[in-house]
Amino acid sequence: MRVTPSGSSPPPRSYGPASWPVGFRGIGGHLLRSAPPVAPLPPAPPAPPVPAAHGSFLLAPILLNTDGHAVAPCPVCMSDARVPAGATWHELRCRSCGTEYVATDGSPPPAPAGADPAPS
């Protein structure tokens, strides 16, 4: 602390706007000029409709549990769902969280219904 010759300390400095010279806005104050008013933006066009998604996109492997039954863990909450025996691709809905997913054994997906079979 600085002491004046008379022994008393100087008054505390104020660093607020009142201590600045008139017209001084601080460092970079010249960047705070008032800007012209901005015209309101026109309303946004309506969003295009989202096409409906058909089928599940989450996949889970078909595994054998300790009882020997085929199960597929939910990709979200990891609870097991039973899969029918011999299924290669089977759509499931988790009882715990409601996630829809496909259990697969790793084979290629079946052809969609109504599709022509591959030429021989």
pLDDT in tens, 32-81: 666 667 788 888 888 776 554 555 578 899 998 888 889 999 988 989 88
pLDDT at 32: 62
pLDDT at 85: 84
pLDDT at 31: 64
pLDDT at 108: 83
Upper half-sphere CA count for residue 72 (Cβ side, 13 Å): 28
Closest to 58 in 3D by CA, of 70, 74, 71: 74
List pLDDT tens digits, range 87-110: 888 899 999 888 889 999 888 887
